[in-house]
């Protein structure tokens, strides 16, 4: 089944705590994953940031909301227990527990008004939908949408710029990634191929302990295996065992299969990966805004 949203987790989390003993999220997460019969892949699926598992995040928010509504309590750090209110809710045998149900409790309404965890529009959507993202998920999904749009704009710009601009951008990226030594070294080592691309050898590191053969070219059609085979031959001709093939389009399955089977190490960077690397290493992009997500520092409170 699909990973349940955090509202779906609420009833099951409260039932888990119905034995009246202390529980931890560390133990609750795998127990609920078993209840929902999640696959290993679903349990391991990460948020876009890669910092936390999606299911862990949703169970955590389910716990937070149940505590704010007074159905669960935290007798001490890291644990939760069911409250009398929580037992009363379960006694009514609800088919589900969601944000709309929690609104009957004044503590939850006060929490919503004071903390402003959700915007009013998001809150209305949350009470009306069964597939709801947590606030952190919403933030990360929005971030990924902005990033995806930027990647598309970058790719369009790369394909529309003069060949010399594309060449300088590729050199700048490789240098920022730690290859090629200095910009001057990289510029001299990677010569112009004459067909809107770059072709040459760069240092793998500043000391030049190894060399990498590089080919970067703006392409319209999918790059197939024949082109990669020619690249592999050129690599051997340059006495190099490592190569980077960069294109603004993409690679065929045969091309990817080919590089996975040959002895030489060849890395294929398509347009999507190229723009992703440009964003990661700050090439041809500027920071528009920065948002810092903070949490309670429990160690601070324990140290004073």
Report the C-alpha gap between 174 and 212 in whole angstroms. 11
Is the confidence at residue 197, as pLDDT, over 70?
A: no
- CA-based nearest residue to 166, from 288, 268, 275, 255: 275
CB-based contact 272:151 (threshold 8 Å): yes
pTM: 0.64
Is the confidence at residue 80, as pLDDT, over 90?
A: yes
Is the confidence at residue 304, as pLDDT, over 80?
A: no
β-pair partners for 202: 212
CB-based contact 254:261 (threshold 8 Å): no
* Domains of the chain by residue range: 6-133, 156-280
Is the confidence at residue 129, as pLDDT, over 60?
A: no
211-217 and 242-247: which strand pairing? parallel
Confidence of residue 120 (pLDDT cuts 50, 70, 90): very low
Mean of pLDDT values over 143-165: 86
- Which H helix or E strand runs over 242? strand 242-247
What's the gap between Cα 188 and its chain centre? 36
What is the widest separation between alpha-carbon atoms in the chain? Answer: 77
Residue 232, number of CB atoms within 10 A of its CB: 19
Query: What is the CATH architecture of 156-280?
Result: 3-Layer(aba) Sandwich (3.40)
Name every residue whose Cβ is closer than 8 Å to that of residue 225 and which is 6 or more positions away in sequence: 252, 254, 255, 257, 258
**pLDDT score, position 126:** 43
**pLDDT score, position 124:** 39
């Amino acid at each position: 089944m699909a990973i349940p949203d955090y509202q779906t987790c609420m009833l099951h989390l409260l039932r888990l705590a119905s034995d009246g003993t202390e529980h931890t999220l560390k133990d609750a997460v795998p127990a609920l994953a078993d209840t929902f019969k999640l696959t290993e892949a679903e349990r391991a699926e990460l948020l876009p940031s890669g910092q936390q598992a999606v299911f862990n995040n949703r169970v955590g928010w389910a716990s937070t909301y149940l505590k704010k509504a007074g159905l669960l309590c935290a007798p001490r750090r890291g644990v939760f227990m069911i409250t009398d209110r929580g037992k009363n809710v379960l006694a009514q045998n609800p088919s589900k527990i969601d944000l709309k149900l929690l609104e009957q409790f004044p503590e939850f309404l006060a929490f919503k008004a004071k903390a402003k965890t959700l915007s009013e529009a998001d809150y209305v959507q949350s009470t009306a939908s069964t597939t709801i993202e947590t606030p952190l998920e919403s933030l990360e999904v929005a971030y990924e949408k902005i990033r995806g749009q930027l990647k598309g704009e970058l790719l369009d710009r790369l394909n529309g710029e003069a060949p010399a601009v594309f060449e300088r951008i590729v050199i700048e990226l490789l240098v920022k990634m730690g290859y090629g030594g200095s910009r001057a070294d990289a510029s001299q080592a990677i010569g112009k191929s004459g067909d809107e691309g770059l072709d040459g050898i760069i240092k793998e590191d500043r000391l030049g302990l190894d060399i990498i053969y590089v080919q970067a070219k703006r392409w319209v059609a999918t790059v197939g295996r024949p082109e990669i085979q020619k690249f592999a031959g050129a690599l051997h001709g340059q006495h190099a065992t490592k190569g980077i093939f960069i294109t603004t389009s993409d690679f065929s399955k045969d091309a990817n299969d080919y590089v996975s089977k040959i002895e030489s190490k060849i890395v294929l960077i398509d347009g999507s990966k190229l723009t992703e690397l440009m964003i990661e290493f700050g090439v041809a992009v500027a920071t528009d805004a920065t948002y810092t997500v903070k949490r309670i520092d429990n160690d601070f409170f324990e140290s004073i």
